[in-house]
Structure formats: structure tokens, C-alpha cells
Chains A and B, each alone.
Chain A
Amino acid sequence: MAVKEQRTIDTGTGFRHPLYQVMLETPGLTVGTAVLDDLLSWGLTNSMWIFPMATSCCGIELMATAASRVDIDRMGVIVRATPRQADVMVVAGTITTKMAPRVLKLWEQMPEPKWCIAMGSCAISGDFYRNLYSVVPGIDTFLPVDVYVPGCPPNPEALMHGMLRLQEKVKRQKQGETVTPEPNPDLLKITRPSVPRLNDPTRSTIQTIEQERASTNPTADEACAPLVVAATEPPPNLAPLTAADFEGLLKELGVTTLPPDGPPIIPAAQHLELARRLKGLGYHLLVTIVASHWPAGKGRKGADAAEVEHYEVAYALRTVGQGSRVATWAVKVPVAEPVLTLSGVFAGADWQEREQYDLVGVKFAGHPDLRRLMLTENASIHPLRREFPADAAAAPWR
């Protein structure tokens, strides 16, 4: 990433006021402007109010910095909860690609003059989450960072030291040391929010959720609207399940011995009927839905030339109360085919299926609102598929 090289030095003169210009242009008043400069930067440097953008463990150290041992209030720093009244945004913690647009929005809501401190190695570079598909590799990819405070996490004294460095920088700002970043255009893609920016000509005054979803986005190769997969009815010639316990139901479905390497695989067409029947038998709690993706030639038993590329979706139900019993089963479908949704039987299946669709890419037929849950709505990846690179440095956007 050639981000640092792209940075330019701003020749900004800082304080611009008509009266100040008159003073600058009048001979003999330069002493006055110098005194005024000193006074103004004295005011700025001694009253830097923090906006705490604390997302993870560094936030604890940020709180400790304001507490009695270090007491950052000694240098006039207090913490404000609203960006409108803050001068310094302290980004303390890992910023995910989903969080990044929000951080940027909060940054834009802060009034000038404003500064940014990257606190901790995650905010500086992403640290060991750097190559993760969901983490921004350093906030300087979309924010102009003034001071880096290294550490994992930095201790309160380090943040205090960072504030002192920032004071020095502000005092010298008039000598042309303001650094404005050039955002990395590739990273701009992942940090771009689904709402167009103010300077985007396509933005209308009132933006509906449909417009937001339909907005053009360079990374979206799938529509952001819910994926509609038509519900398929099970074949009518199948007999209804009648057994009164889980083992009996499995036998009816043709499973006689439980496999040693995972939950029993049942025919996909009868999977919804099984769930309904089990709920009737007292299995009221949907514990989990886990999908796994298998490339062609690989299956549960290792390399197997007969296997096509497929998903295996495992389900687990429980009865509630003492002596709780568990029922688990799995459905195996080729990647092109959808799995029947359980959201009509268990309300909790809604988000679980959205998560599996988001991360693995399984499509659930008849799901009322099949949108992404964890990643950004316009993301184009299913990171838990086997072909997804383990090292995301090789991912499409890097």
C-alpha cells in the first residue's frame, strides 16, 4: 500500500480572518500578528477536547488516562460525547470495514480545526487482524492521522505523551506541517458507505432505503436488496413423518446408523417437515445453524472424487428444561441449489440463516429477508468459503 507516499504537505496558513489579513498586510503590525498567533495557538493547545472513538481494549486505557492516576485533565483535556464539541478524535481500537464509514461520518461531523490520534497498533496498522477480511489495515487509509501512539494497548502515559506531541504539532502548524492524506483508492471501495457522500451528484435530498441499496458501488457484484429464493414445496408423494422420537424419525428418513464423523445427513426435501415434527415433540430451542462449504472432490471422508462442490448445513435443536435432549442433523446440497428455510418454524432461524448466507453463501429458499448480516450490505465476498484466500492480502481489494 503506497499510502504514505501519496501524502501531500498542506501549505495552509491556519487562521483566516479578514482582520488578520489586514494585520498581515499592514507594515508594523507583524509583531501584533505574531502575538495573536501565539495567543490563538495557546488557546488551541491547552484545551483539546477528546472525542473517544473507542472500539476495543485500547478504550480501557483511554478511560484510565482520564482517571486519577494519569489525569489528562491536567492539560485541559476533557472527554466530550458529541463530535460537535470535540477537537481530537482518539481512535482506540480495531476498526472493521463495517465500522469505518461510521467513523468517517463522525469525523466529518467534527468542526475544524480538528486532529486525529491513532491509539494502539490496531488503529495504526490493523496489527494481527491486518489480513482479516473484515478489518481496515490502519485508519490512516481513510482518516488524516496526526499522531500515532504505538502499543498493544498503549499505557495511559503513552497517550499523554501523544497528546503532548500533538500540542507541539499544533504549535508548529503554521509552518506548513499540516498533513492531509490521499486515501488509497482501492481501500476507499471497502470503506465507502452505502449512502452517497454529500458531494456525490447522484445524491438526492431524501434518500430512501431502497435508493441506498440500489446506489452504485464499485464492490457490489450482487444486488444489495434481499435475495429472493422461491420456496419449493416438498414432493407430494412423500409420506408425512409419524414417529414419536428423534431416533424413530431418523429411521423413517432412512438413517439407520449414526455416522461417526458428524450429524446424520437426511434428504433435503424432508428437512422442513422434520423440523416441524421435532418442534411438535418439544424441541423448542434452535441452538445453531452451521454451514460448511466443500469444494469438488472433497467431502467428510477426505478426498473423494465422487463428491461435487456442495454445502453441508448442520442444525441443532434442544428441548428446554431438565434432562434436555439434543437433536442434530445435516442437509447436503450442491452449491447451485437452495436449502429450505426454517424461519417459518423457528423465528430464531432468521438471523442465523442470514449469517450463514453472509459468510458461506448458502441460499435459503423462502427466507423472508435474505440480506447480509455481519459484513457490509454491499460486500461481495463470502469469506468462509474454501476458495477464499486465508491470507486476505491476496483478497480482491488489496
Chain B
Amino acid sequence: MNEFVRGGLYGGGIIVGIMSSLLFVLWAERKMAARMQSRIGPNIIDPTGFLQAMSDVLKLLQKEDIIPEKADRALFNLAPVFGAAAALAVAAVVPFSASIVGADLDVGVLYLLAVGAVSVLPVFAAGWGSNNKFALLGAMRAIAQSVSYEVPLVLAALVPVMLAGSMKVSDIVAWQASHHWLVVWPFFLGVPAFVLFMLAMLAESNRIPFDIPEAESELVAGITTEYSGMKFGLFYMTEYLHTVIASAVAASLFLGGFDGPGGPGIWWMVIKTFVLVVAIYWLRWSLLRFRSDQLMALCWRWLVPSGVVLVVATALWVVFAA
């Protein structure tokens, strides 16, 4: 089969799969949040509250679409779409099983870091295009945060690349299948790199405890302050897309991807991704928000130096021990 047709078919399938998984993720997060706060969560719409996300979407579709008079209309309207597109584009190089992968690029890790970095542009476009001071402040914070956390993210992603000797994500998964999962051996490299990667990914996708771009107590709703209806819905969705896809990437790079006991398969990828998603929401509802300067201090004083040390240690390990 033509490679482009194959990539298109698989890519479409992956997008549909991830989008439908969002329904479950939204439900799980809301119920989990409720449980962690001694509440019950949505249970009137149906006993489990599973239809709540659909009801929200139906409601958002019916709302009036407001564009502020002095907004930059092009930026304002395109930002939510590009935001969702940039989040989805990362999923292209993630192998969900030996065959289910959108485009298994030779420079897959480079691609996902690059596309992940692009996702800050829609955020800034939204903040700038809204012509709203709160949105602009949120966007400024998002830029500062994402640019800073790009560095530890790249350093952490270098560890599996150096160990596997390839930038192809499927090669990294195969290397882990033939050796060990990266968090199992060498764990003194794998575990810190995994933690570093998850922290940086959380900060990149602006989740609590790194959600200062949309800090509700200070900035109304941050970059989404002026967005109503389904445009806000897209931002809302993008946030969850980021979480799911970041978890899938981390699962591939550090947790052995689609490989697991009893043979490789897509179910391993699904299980690992959702475990990580749940862990992220666990963090989200347990922790408070960092202050902007604390966030920068954490990045530049702790994460970046430890990332450099990790990369050097990995290089020594590869040369002398492996």
C-alpha cells in the first residue's frame, strides 16, 4: 500500500481513537476530582455521570459566539483550531502497536519535541488576539514557562535516545523490548529522566501545578478569558489532548511502549497511557499552583542542572558499561 495512504488511514484512526478516549478521560477526571474532594460528581444526568461531557459539548455548541470588537479576528478564531491541531500532531510519531503508527519518522523524538514546542504559539495567538489584558498576561506567562521547560524536556528525552542509539520512537520501544523498560534498568538513569520528562511535559501543557497561564484566582480565566461557546470547548479539549498524548509519549519513551508481559499489543499502550493520565490528575487535584518565580526557579535551578548531569551520566554509561 502507498505509504501516504497508509499513514493517512492510520493517522485518521489514531485521531478518532484519541478523541473518543477523551470522553472517558473527561469523565474520569471529573469523578476523580469529586472523589478527592469528598464529593460525588455528576450523577443526576445518568447514574455514572458518563454523559456529562456530551451534555457540556451540546451546550457549548448552542452558545453565542462572541468576538470582541477590537480583537484580532484571524488570530482569535484560528488559535483554538491550531492549538488542538498542534496537540494532535504530536501523536503522529507515537507507535501504539508494532503496526499502528501514523508516521514512524527516523527523527521521531526530534519531531515530537519540535511540534510540542509549536503548541505555545496558538496559546500566545489566543492571548494576543483577544485584546484582553488578562489573556495577554496569561499568554506572556505561557511563553516564559514553555520556553524554560523546553530545555529539561529535551535533556530528559535525550536519555532514551542515547541509550537506544536512535531517534526513531519505534526503535526506542524495540530497544526496551530487547533489554528492559527504561525505568527498570538502568533505573538510576531511567527513573530520574522519566520524572523530569513528566514534570516538563506537565509544564508544557500548562496543567496544575504549572497552570499559571490560566490561574483562575489572578487572571480570571487566563488565555481563554474572551472565548465563549465551542471555541472555549476546543481549548478545554486541547488541555485534555495534551495530557493524553504526553502520557502516550512518556509511555513509549520510558515505560516500554506497546511491549509488556504476555506479548506486545495495543492494550499495553492503552493501559500505560491511562495509568499516567490518572497519575497526572492525581497530581492536579492534590497540589497547589506554583508562583511564577518559583516555577522559573524550579526549572533553572533544579531541573536543568539535573538534566545536564543525567545526559553526561548516560553518555558515560553508554561508553563504559553498556
Residues of A within 8 A of B (CB): 15, 39-40, 42-44, 46-48, 67-68, 71, 73-76, 80-82, 84-85, 87, 109, 111-113
Contacts and interface: CB of A to CB of B under 8 A. Distances in A.
Interface residues of B, number: 36
B58 A43 contact: yes
30 contacts: A43-B54, A43-B56, A43-B57, A43-B59, A43-B61, A43-B62, A46-B51, A46-B55, A47-B55, A68-B38, A71-B39, A71-B41, A73-B39, A74-B40, A74-B42, A74-B44, A75-B42, A75-B44, A81-B216, A81-B220, A81-B221, A82-B220, A82-B225, A84-B225, A84-B227, A84-B232, A85-B232, A111-B66, A111-B229, A113-B64
Nearest to A164: B44
Interface of B: 30, 34, 37-45, 51-52, 54-66, 216, 220-221, 224-229, 232
B58 A76 contact: no
Given A76-B55, A84-B232, A40 B62 contact: yes
Contact of B62 (A15, A76, A82): A15
Contacts of B226: 82, 84
Contacts of A43: 54-59, 61-62
B59 A111 contact: no
Residue in A87, A111, A112 whose Cβ sees the most chain B Cβ within 10 Å: A111
B43 A84 contact: no
A76 B45 contact: yes
A111 B55 contact: no
A87 B41 contact: no
B307 to A, nearest CB: 35
Contact of B228 (A15, A42, A85): A85
Nearest to A72: B39
Given A68-B39, A73-B34, A81-B221, A44 B62 contact: yes
Contacts, number: 95
B56 A47 contact: yes
Contacts of A42: 55, 58
Given A40-B62, A68-B37, A82-B220, A76 B232 contact: no
Contacts of B61: 43
Given A73-B41, A75-B45, 17 more contacts: A15-B62, A42-B55, A43-B54, A43-B56, A43-B59, A44-B59, A47-B55, A48-B59, A71-B34, A73-B30, A73-B40, A73-B42, A82-B226, A84-B228, A111-B65, A111-B66, A112-B63
Contacts of B63: 87, 111-113
Contacts of B229: 111
Contacts of B39: 67-68, 71, 73-74
B52 A47 contact: yes
Contacts of B45: 46, 75-76
Nearest 4 pairs between A and B by C-beta? A43-B58, A111-B64, A47-B59, A68-B38
Nearest to A109: B66
Contacts of B58: 39-40, 42-44, 47
A48 B63 CA distance: 11
Contacts of B40: 71, 73-74
B41 A74 contact: yes
A236 B227 CA distance: 66
